[in-house]
Structure 1
Amino acid sequence: SIDDSLLTTARIAISNQDLIDNEYLLQLTEITNTEYIYYYSPTGEVIYDPSDMYIGWQAQVGDPIYDFMTSGETIRIEDIRKSTDEDNYYKFAYLKANDGYFIQVGVRAEYVLELTAPYEYQNVIEDIVIQNDEVIYALILDGNKIAIADSNEESIGIDYSSDGDYELAINGVPVATDHYYAKDSTTVLEIAYPIYEDGEIIGILAVGYALSFFNQTRIYLIIIFIIMGISFVGIYFMTLYIQIFKPLRGLDDAISSIDVESTQSKRILDEKSVFSGIYQTVDNLSKRITDENSKNIRLNKRISSMAYTDYLTGVPNRLAFIEKITEIIKSVEKLAVVFFDLDGFKSYNDTLGHNFGDALLKSFTNRFNSVKDNDTYFARYGGDEFFMYHRYHSMVDLRSWIENVASLFDQPFEVEGVEYPLDAGIGVSLYPEHDTSIEQLIRKADIAMYYSKKRG
């Protein structure tokens, strides 16, 4: 949803807070297809803005930004609202970091509608029914034959897994059948057709047409054949063309925006018959829906990956570490949390420049990735601070592993062919001996690291 996309973009920015500047925010707007990202101080002043137009702007009392800043909330997603200083309408999401700095992410209202309206399954279904008088109902089933969209909204969620005709449809066989539709007290012809994504069937689209529409065509056929039996005059052949093929073409046009999938009983549609054009137009809609769905899935996967990866080094970030340790701690008996920061890094960074500092951090993380295995997880906390967890079985095992980690600092780190020595202060806390809370384990490892550095 658009709410999730805005909030995910804000989380990416906050998780890389030490990298934020105008250029970084500009790149983030391009990657995530958002339009506005602003970084505020705890007092509501714009610190960074990709357009460089609002830097120094200050939120005032009564402004929605000021309301969020003083609310005590860490997350807020606004409904579409009018801008406080212009006539345009926007949708904004906010996310506040632990230090009080916060991110505002937004898009224009027109863009929200452009993203959400055309390809929402329920909107597609409702458009089919509204735009075609002969259509009584329409629905979409997922791969488990559960209704995920239905023109009769009360039927959303119904399980059709026991329906034999839908079973044919989900296996790629287009099906049509007529049945009595009690809701409208009428007989309908239901056509069902599989929805494909990347060559695989992911669901079914079913459309119920008023059978009277087809009966009218049958009546026309009977009349025409009687006339043909009386005379072969050219006018009757013209009537044959008008009365048979024109209604069928009208049917083709009526469902040209639909992706149809089989739904009911034993009358299988012959794709070589006069209805073959219907299947082509139906298939086009199927591709339209599934192509957009695939594009959204790929974009969400890319955004999700960025939210859990450190922008500079490519290793997992703080958010990824917290989620990973939260999951692993449920299934282990012993776990060591290790917190360390790099001694001497600040001096290199100050004297040789930030670009050198970035390269040195990458060299460091490349080496530390070598100790990763199924029992070990390595992530960047922020700046020159990193943390790890290690699943161990005994203190002998743990001491050996810590010595192995410490030995990684024995050799200098190489940047552009030149070697630079680094050391680190290391602190360790143990689960469950020292605490069972993840937050407290990290805090105690940090404290242990501080005392380790103090003692030299």
Structure 2
Amino acid sequence: MLNPNKLRLKYFLIPFISLMIIFFFLTFIATTNSIKRSTNDFEAEASRIAIAYSNVLAKSNEAYTTITKLLDDKLALSAQGINQEIDMATNTSLQQLADKYYVDDIHYYNANREIILSNVPEYIGWQVPTDHPINDVLNDTGDFLIEDIRKDTEGNDFFKYAYLRQKDNYFLQIGLLADDVHQILQSFELEGVIDDIISLS
């Protein structure tokens, strides 16, 4: 004859174990589904962020290119206009031309790369040193050249310069003060944009 206590224990354990198995199985399924949903949500969010960052980089590059082109176009147009009037120019009239064409510097170099006319009087007589970045431009064979924005070697301001070759190897140099533009363009450069993105992450 079976012991009543053992019988009761048997009837209790079997359902209990069955329920525990079902509970753990359902918990496992629920946890797995939750992890899967979280992973999918994370992947979707990561994809959305990646697309947003990609758009930011694309827009920054577009803005950088647009601003640079506008400056180049302005220098090209100013150079053409000033070039038509340079033959009769004096230091005083160069200042008038600078005001007329909204440029900051106009320097006229002779074949020895010495400034013989300028709207900035203190530059008259200045000669290009052998290690000066202008030499890289003046040694080029092109008739019209535009530099990237750079710091003026004789001061602390940033300028963007254009050069127009004249007869007898004379050169016309036109400069735009570009401190503000330089700061704006720096914010659009790839490294700067990535730093901004990282700081917001």
Partner of 2:110: 41
Matched, 1:53 2:115: no
Which structure carries more strand by proportion?
Answer: 1
1:10 and 2:72 correspond: no
Change (3 A) 1:97 1:51: same
Residue 70 of structure 1 and its aligned partner are, at CA, apart by 2.2
Alpha-carbon offset, residue 55 of structure 1: 0.7
2:86 and 2:156 map into 1 onto residues whose CA distance is 32
- Equivalent residues of 2:106, 2:118 under 8 A apart: yes
Name which one, 1 or 2, has greater alpha-carbon Rg: 2
Q: Could you tell me which runs of 5 or more consecutive residues in structure 2 were left unpaired when the two chains were aligned.
A: 1-69, 186-201
Question: Who is 1:103 aligned against?
Answer: 172
CA contact (8 A) 1:61 1:67 kept: no
Shift of 1:58: 0.3
Q: Encode CA deviations 1:366-410: one digit per residue, 9 max, x unaligned.
A: xxxxxxxxxxxxxxxxxxxxxxxxxxxxxxxxxxxxxxxxxxxxx
1:30 and 2:104 equivalent? no
1:319-338 matches, cutoff 5 A:
none
Contact 2:149 2:182 in 1 (8 A): no
Contact 1:2 1:112 in 2 (8 A): no
- Partner residue, 1:94: 163
Q: Contact 2:157–2:179 (CA<8 Å) still a contact in 1?
A: no
Report the secondary structure of 1:39's partner residue: strand
Q: Label 1:82 to 1:52 Cα distance change in 2 as closer, same or farther (>3 A).
A: same
2:150 to 72, 76, 81: 81
* Aligned partner of residue 84 in structure 1, secondary structure: coil
Match of 2:90 among 1, 11, 21: 21
Kindly provide the CA deviation profile for residues 316-362 of structure 1, in whole angstroms up to 9, marking residues without a partner as x: xxxxxxxxxxxxxxxxxxxxxxxxxxxxxxxxxxxxxxxxxxxxxxx
| Counterparts of 2:183 and 2:76, CA distance in 1 | 18
Verify the 8 A CA contact 2:160 2:177 in the aligned structure 1.
Answer: yes
Task: Indicate if the aligned counterparts of 2:108 and 2:118 stay in contact, CA closer than 8 A.
Answer: yes
Structure 1 residue identity aligned to 2:114 = E
Task: Give the Cα separation in 2 of the matches to 1:68 and 1:57.
Answer: 17
8 Å contact from structure 1 (residues 92, 105) kept in 2:
yes
Amino acid at match of 2:138: M
In structure 2, distance between residues paired with 1:41 and 1:107: 21
Q: What secondary structure does 1:62 align onto?
A: coil
Equivalent position SS for 1:30: helix
Q: What letter matches 2:113 in structure 1? A: G
The Cα offsets for residues 194-250 of structure 1, whole Å up to 9 and x where unpaired, read as: xxxxxxxxxxxxxxxxxxxxxxxxxxxxxxxxxxxxxxxxxxxxxxxxxxxxxxxxx
Report sequence identity in percent.
34
Alpha-carbon RMSD: 2.2
User: Which one scores higher on RCO, CA 8 angstroms, separation ≥ 6?
Assistant: 2
Gaps of 5+ in 1: 117-456
TM-score (norm 2): 0.52
Q: Secondary structure at the match of 1:15?
A: helix
* Residues 37 and 49 in structure 1, CA contact (< 8 A), matched pair in contact too: yes
The change in CA–CA distance for 1:17 and 1:30 in structure 2 (over 3 A counts) is closer
The whole-number CA distance in structure 2 between the counterparts of 1:25 and 1:51 is: 9
